[in-house]
Amino acid sequence: MRTRRLVGHGLRGMGRHRLRTFFMMLGTFMGVFALTLVVAIGQGTRDSVLGNIERMFAGSSIFLSAGGGGMMGGPREGGPTTTLVMEDLEEIQATVPGIRVYDPMIMAGSREVVYQGKSSSVRVLGHSERHEEVWDRGVSRGAFIGESEVRSSARVALVGETLVRELFQGADPIGLQLRIGTVPCDVIGVLDSMGIDPHGWDRDNEVLIPVTTMMRRVMNVDYVQSVKFLVESGTDLDGVVLAIEGLLRERHALAEGVPNDFSMITPVQVQEMVGSMNRIFTLFLPLLAGVSLLIGGIVVANLMLMGVNERRSEIGLRKAVGARGRDIWVQFLLESSLVTVVGGLLALVVAAITLGVIGRFMEIPSIMPWEAAFLGLGAAVAVGLLAGVAPARRASALDPVATLRE
Amino acid sequence: MIKLEQVNKSYRKDSVEVRALHDVSLKIDAGEFVAVIGPSGSGKSTLMNVIGLLDRPDSGSYHLDDGEVASFTSDELAQIRNEKIGFVFQTFHLLPKTTALENVELPLIYSSRGDISGLGAQALERVGLKDRAQHLPSELSGGQQQRVAIARALVNDPEMILADEPTGNLDTRSGLEILAIFQELNRAGKIVVLVTHDAAVAEMAHRIVEIVDGRIVRDKPVEESKDAREVIANWAGSGDISKEVAP
């Protein structure tokens, strides 16, 4: 009976001091909100980055790119490396045991692609007919490029969904003709949709043509930029890497001491990369989250302490009319914990809505991390209680005589 | 019944030891109306805090009814304050943004009583503010605010009302009305202890205790105590109150 009266009275008091209650709530709200968003976007990004990397290097594969040193995608000196040619690849396939299949690649980051006077800047990729098997990406409609089309440098193209939507304005592009620079190509298929990759490329804003067409007709070069080998399972990958290295050094006539003019990435290296990224995410995210929660807690504690100072005479009066120290204590803890719980719950709701909006309008992976969110809420409540303890103790220890005299 | 024997109380103020009560012995029986007078700093407020269980004596004994106050825990003291004592302060001490009725009901929240419904409204009715129950303190005059504070002191039906300069912040007329309420409460059987520095206000009591430098220097009944209602009526007739109640 008495407790119920105390709680009801406390709640009405908070309702009367809406501004104070609001600012206290804001502290936890921002903490939990920031925590949830940071974890959601961090987790989503990690999952998609790792997913992409793992899909790229799934199974036993070796990625070989022209140009020495540096990491994948890093800057290279002195323009493109022109030494990796199709004959190198054919010989590797013929002489190194364990190579199952390979797919060469040459790419132009941005080319003018025109359809009926409408043009668009698009990434153009040259691949072989084995791309479907090696990269696990085929067509959703129409047909993939075939061996004869690669052999004959046929003027055919596969287009991504973004192009279908924007350049062809939603029409079925199969059988239509587009122009890549000056080269006209017949569209024979639509590529499987892949969305945005970790580097921010729209993988659906691409045209894929036979690697030979790309070399001879579009770029007029006789080299390729990279190749991905699939290796028979059970093969010693290090052995294959060494064999390829030896063969290429010999074919490229590299003298002793001259660095490789190519580089290779194997699943082992990728796993190391993924592992270190994972460590960054698992260390960094909780740290960020903890900091935001801590700030929320400090805000609540400070506002509570300010509240105690402002309400000295109120506390003195309550004691004079019969409040025990414990009653004052309970009132203040009730306020701080209620404010943090409500603020935290509101933050969860707003965060879920925000993530929904982000997911709809922006290409950022954003799944509501419910586990982390509720963990954060629990932590916020704990912080709120802890933040309330010191002010509540100070309030309950106030001397009514002194405060009533003020 | 209040009985203090050889009570001493000192406190520190700016690292100077002040002896606020010096061997004070005082007995107040049921139904008495006592005014405690003295210059500021004489210890009269300390005396009231001790009587009101807000402060404990350093030495000496204080019997309230039949209990020795020194033997009570602070939780027990809080409960006794809640049940037996009603406080009225010079600055009212009403909770802001809170209706008159809810202010009056504040002591009930800390009471161990079961059913409290209607008590707040009854108390407001006794001080003549039934129709202002839903007003906020900021919407009431000073006199009305003090009446709300008296209703709050009354709500738990205490044995005694302790008032510390209750008319100090009020105009003469409002002050007289407050004093009239105290006299009515006293006639209804409650002990009233009124702390004031105003001799005219003290004339309303039945007994005056004068305290100087922490000692009781005078303790005598009032020959013919004034009736606040009469003073108000006379004032209304003559239009001059200065002769009756000097500021």
| Residue-level pLDDT at B3 | 95
Centre a 10 Å sphere on the Cβ of residue A358 and count the other Cβ atoms it contains: 17
State residue B161 phi and psi, 5-degree precision: -110, 125
Residue A210: domain span: 100-228
Instruction: Out of A197, A228, A259, pick the residue that ends a domain.
Output: A228
Return the residue of A nearest to B95 by Cα: A314
pLDDT surpassing 60 at residue A100: yes
Q: Could you tell me the two tokens for A190?
A: 């639509």
Q: Is B11 on the interface with A (CB under 8 A)?
A: no
Chain A, nearest residue to B76 by Cα: A324
Q: Which of A198, A228, A258 is the last residue before a domain boundary?
A: A228
pTM tops 0.80, yes or no: no
Tell me the C-alpha distance between A92 and A252, whole Å.
13
- Residue B224's pLDDT band (cuts 50, 70, 90): confident
Residue B69 three-state SS: helix
Give B2 or A30, the one with higher predicted confidence.
B2
Per-domain boundaries in chain B: 30-42+74-237
Instruction: Write down the pLDDT at residue A363.
Output: 62
B136 interfacial to chain A (CB closer than 8 Å): no
| Same domain as A401, residue A287 | yes
Query: Do A166 and A113 belong to one domain?
Result: yes
**Per-residue confidence (pLDDT) for residue A71, from 0 to 100:** 46
Check: CB of residue B163 under 8 Å from CB of residue B194. Answer: yes
- Going by C-alpha positions, the residue among A63, A76, A68, A61 that lies closest to residue A262 is A68
B215-221 vs A206-210, strand pairing mode: unpaired
Residues A224 and A277 in one domain: no
A292 and A218 within one domain: no
Cross-chain residue pair B81–A1, CB shorter than 8 Å: no
Percentage of residues in chain A having pLDDT higher than 70: 93
**Is residue A246 in a domain?**
no
Q: Does A41 map to a domain?
A: yes
Given CB atoms, is B109 within the 8 Å cutoff of chain A? yes
Q: Are A284 and A401 members of one domain?
A: yes
Tell me the per-residue pLDDT of A359-376, one tens digit each, with 9 for 90 and over.
Answer: 777 666 666 777 777 877
Asked whether the predicted pLDDT for residue B244 surpasses 60, the reply is no
Q: For the segment B114-146, what is each residue's pLDDT rounded down to a tens digit?
A: 788 899 999 999 999 999 999 999 999 999 999
CATH fold label, B30-42+74-237: Rossmann fold (3.40.50)
**pLDDT tens sequence across B170-223:** 999 999 999 999 999 999 999 999 999 888 999 999 999 999 999 999 999 998
Q: How many whole angstroms from its chain centre is CA B175?
A: 13
Alpha-carbon distance A363 to nearest alpha carbon in chain B (angstroms): 49
Rounded Cα distance, A323 and B75, in Å: 8
What mean pLDDT do residues A290-307 have?
79
Same domain flag for A397 and A278: yes
pLDDT above 90 covers what percent of chain A? 31
A303 assigned to some structural domain: yes
A205 found inside a domain: yes
> Is the pLDDT at A234 greater than 70, yes or no?
yes
Q: Residue A75 and residue A69: Cα distance in Å, rounded?
A: 10
Residue A109 reports pLDDT greater than 90? no
Q: Nearest CA of chain B to the CA of A8: how many Å?
A: 9
A220, A111: one domain: yes
**What residue of B is the nearest CA neighbor of A12?**
B98
Task: Tell whether A28 is covered by a domain.
Answer: yes
- Contact criterion met (CB < 8 Å) for A320 and B55: no
Q: What is the pLDDT of residues B2-35, one digit of tens each?
A: 999 999 999 887 788 888 999 999 999 999 999 9
Shortest CB distance from A321 goes to which of B49, B55, B110? B110
Residue A238 in tokens: 């290090």
Q: Is the pLDDT of residue A348 over 70?
A: yes
pLDDT at A72: 46
Give yes or no: residues A309 and A368 share one domain. yes
Nearest CB to B87 within list A12, A320, A325: A320
Tell me which DSSP letter residue A260 carries: P
pLDDT band at A46 (very low <50, low <70, confident <90, very high): confident
Are residue A392 and residue A281 in the same domain, yes or no? yes
Query: What is the Rg, in whole angstroms, of the alpha carbon atoms belonging to chain A?
Result: 32
Q: Does B87 touch chain A (CB under 8 A)?
A: yes
**B107 in A contact zone (CB under 8 Å):** yes
In total, the C-beta contacts within 8 angstroms joining chain A to chain B are 67
Q: Which residue has the higher pLDDT, B197 or B238?
A: B197
Q: Is residue A212 part of a domain?
A: yes
- Weakest-pLDDT range from A82-96, A193-207, A316-330: A193-207
Q: Please tell me the least confidently modeled range out of A4-18, A136-150, B102-116, B149-163.
A: A4-18
Q: Could you read off the pLDDT of A139-176 as tens digits, one per residue?
A: 999 999 999 999 999 999 999 999 999 899 988 999 99
Chain B residues near residue A401 by CB distance under 8 angstroms: 49, 54-55
In chain A, what residues touch B52 (CB-CB under 8 Å)? 320
Give me the number of domains chain A comprises.
Answer: 2
DSSP tag of A214: I
- Taking CB atoms and an 8 Å limit, are A321 and B54 in contact across chains? no
For position B190, what pLDDT does the model report?
95
CA contacts within 13 A on the Cβ side of B155: 32
Tokens 């202002």 sit on residue: B132
pLDDT beyond 60 at B70: yes
Average pLDDT over residues A295-305: 79
Which residues contact residue A163 at a Cβ distance below 8 angstroms, ignoring those fewer than 6 apart?
A113, A120, A122, A173, A204, A205, A206, A207
Among residues 313-332 of chain A, which lie with CB inside 8 Å of chain B?
Answer: 313-314, 316-327
- The alpha-carbon gap from A332 to the nearest alpha carbon of chain B, in Å, equals 15
The pLDDT of residue A375 is 77
How far away is chain B from the Cα of A40, in angstroms, using its nearest Cα? 42
Judge: B108–A17 Cβ closer than 8 Å, yes or no: no
Which helix (H) or strand (E) segment is A15 a member of?
helix A2-16
Q: Which two tokens stand for residue B181?
A: 């309420």
CA distance A329 to chain B (A): 13
The residue in chain A having the minimum alpha-carbon distance to the alpha carbon of residue B153 is: A321
Q: Is residue A379 in a domain?
A: yes
